[in-house]
Amino acid sequence: MSAGWFRRRFLPGGLLSAPGPSRPRASPVPYRRPRFLRGSGSGPGPADASRRPDARPVRSPARGRALPWNAGYAEIINAEKSEFNEDQASCGKLCIRRCEFGAEEDQEWLTLCPEEFLTGHYWALFDGHGGPAAAILAANTLHSCLRRQLEAVVEGMVAAQPPMHLSGHCICPSDPQFVEEKGIRAEDLVIGALESAFQECDEVIGRELEASGQVGGCTALVAVSLQGKLYVANAGDSRAILVRRDEVRPLSSEFTPETERQRIQQLAFVYPELLAGEFTRLEFPRRLKGDDLGQKVLFRDHHMSGWGYKCVEKSDLKYPLIHGQGRQVSEWPLPRIPLKLPPTEARLLGTLAVSRGLGDHQLRVLDTDIQLKPFLLSVPQVTVLDVDQLELQEEDVVVMATDGLWDVLSNEQVARLVRSFLPGNREDPHRFSELAKMLIHSTQGKDGSPTGEGQVSYDDVSVFVIPLHSHGQGSSGH
């Protein structure tokens, strides 16, 4: 990707902003639930009219169907926010072939892995918006992109230190020393591969959605185990945490218009034409109105983490680039009016509540030509958990979930639920899926809900619970 590409794609007069020649339209991406839910019994169809919180079923894999590391999974569809469950999930064994260059790639991903493969595992959650298509494409595609990106660097990953030249050919005798001084380790290649895989997947989704005439986007949260480490890559507002007996550790942070305010305002500062004169890039505590003209009001611009006062001019009355704050949290009982986008949730260009993710290539502000995509990043933030270095206890788990869970449960509340559930259920081979189900039930305002304040999630909620013990240790096999 070059700056020239960015300008052609997004700025007025660019070649790519004109619609391309019409091509025969591909068939739309079919709706589906994750493959590993097959045989688990189906809940109400998407058009079910009575999706009250207490009527929607929580789904999890059939007993007898084991996920990698015996991980647990559960999901619930939203309460009438959209026709489909826009969350998607996938997981599986990751087989990275230590191949010669130019060798044909294996098209079958979920295969038994012979010894010449570097093996790992993969769990992913995708939270869609604007339709389920992008999340389904991501669930179908991202692991293949990741495998391809990892295979491109696997020789460097398995070396004691990544070589300057992938060929192993040494052109400058002090190359190992240069690499050493930069502190480049095998895990940096995995981080780079994850970053590249998200971008590649984003491009695939863009092409596929354009071909099928569909729209939409999704967040992506991925955990990958490789060579004794757990990599958590996040683009969006899902979250992963590590829960141990004495520790709760966030493994990801959220990317929303609020948390990425300065990056987004900076882009609007550099390319004001992206706002088409319709938005102000400045942040104010509330939307300004005519009465504020000439007053000194609180504001923030791209270079500020603090606040200042500015004298309100007419252009400050435009709709703000980022408006609102906080998350949508609903009260029990269910309000009678239909759930619409709450006015206080922070949104980018009045449209989108996340600032990183996949898809959204065609997304525009309603009734305008103003594009969202230039403000979105597909690149994830990656954190590395050195599982081999942890003194693992039997009930150490990673909890990954879409924002529907975290909107109503804090990290500490989830940790308390984990710690109260697992010790009493040691005999149940399905205890991690049971725990995932219990976490989802706790978001539904049931009696005994730990949220106390009766907060209810009406969003889609999907949860993986990944146990680290025994699987995490000594699993750095090849």
Under the rule (CB under 8 A), what is the footprint of a second copy?
A: 2-4, 6, 152-153, 156, 162, 164-167, 169, 171-172, 174-175, 178-179, 181-182, 184, 187-196, 199, 269-272, 285-286, 289, 291-292, 295-298, 300, 303-309, 325-326, 344, 377, 379, 381-382
Rounded to the nearest 10 degrees, what angle do helices 431-441 and 411-421 cross at? 140
Give the separation between CA 176 and CA 189, rounded to whole angstroms.
Answer: 16
Q: Which is nearer to a second copy, 162 or 236 (CB)?
A: 162
Q: Which is nearer to a second copy, 196 or 238 (CB)?
A: 196
Question: Closest by alpha carbon to 244, among 375, 141, 396?
Answer: 396
Shortest CB 302 distance to a second copy, Å: 10
Structure tokens at 37: 């839910």
Give the separation between CA 42 and CA 59, rounded to whole angstroms.
Answer: 8
Give the separation between CA 242 and CA 267, rounded to whole angstroms.
Answer: 34
Cβ-based burial of 145 (10 A; exposed 0-12, middle 13-18, buried ≥19): buried
> What is the Cα 251 distance to its own chain's centre?
13
Per the DSSP assignment, residues forming a β-bridge with 231 are 224, 384
Shortest CB 164 distance to a second copy, Å: 6
Under 8 Å between Cβ of 457 and 444: yes
Shortest CB 116 distance to a second copy, Å: 21
Shortest CB 308 distance to a second copy, Å: 4
The DSSP bridge pattern shows strands 330-331 and 455-456 to be antiparallel
Q: Which is nearer to a second copy, 271 or 421 (CB)?
A: 271
Give the separation between CA 381 and CA 259, rounded to whole angstroms.
Answer: 13
Shortest CB 1 distance to a second copy, Å: 8
E strands within 44-142?
72-76, 87-97, 117-129
Q: Which is nearer to a second copy, 17 or 174 (CB)?
A: 174
Shortest CB 352 distance to a second copy, Å: 20
Q: Which is nearer to a second copy, 181 or 246 (CB)?
A: 181
Shortest CB 49 distance to a second copy, Å: 36
Say which residue the tokens 């200042």 belong to. 308
Cβ-count burial 52-91 (b if 16+ within 10 Å, e if not): ebeebebbbbeeebebbbbbbbbbbbbbbbbebbbbbbbb
Helix residue ranges per DSSP H, 430-478: 431-441
Q: Which is nearer to a second copy, 62 or 184 (CB)?
A: 184
Give the separation between CA 68 and CA 433, rounded to whole angstroms.
Answer: 12
Shortest CB 466 distance to a second copy, Å: 22
Shortest CB 6 distance to a second copy, Å: 7
Give the separation between CA 15 and CA 98, rounded to whole angstroms.
Answer: 41
* Phi and psi torsions of 7, nearest 5°: -65, -45
Q: Which is nearer to a second copy, 250 or 474 (CB)?
A: 250
Q: Which is nearer to a second copy, 111 or 344 (CB)?
A: 344
Greatest Cα-to-Cα distance within the chain, rounded to the nearest angstrom: 73
Q: Which is nearer to a second copy, 62 or 377 (CB)?
A: 377
Shortest CB 373 distance to a second copy, Å: 15
Shortest CB 341 distance to a second copy, Å: 17
Q: Which is nearer to a second copy, 51 or 327 (CB)?
A: 327
Shortest CB 179 distance to a second copy, Å: 5
Give the separation between CA 222 and CA 380, rounded to whole angstroms.
Answer: 9
Question: Closest by alpha carbon to 467, among 251, 244, 222, 190?
Answer: 244
Structure tokens at 426: 């040691």
Q: Which is nearer to a second copy, 135 or 382 (CB)?
A: 382
Contacts of 4 (CB under 8 A, 6+ apart): none
Q: Which is nearer to a second copy, 187 or 210 (CB)?
A: 187
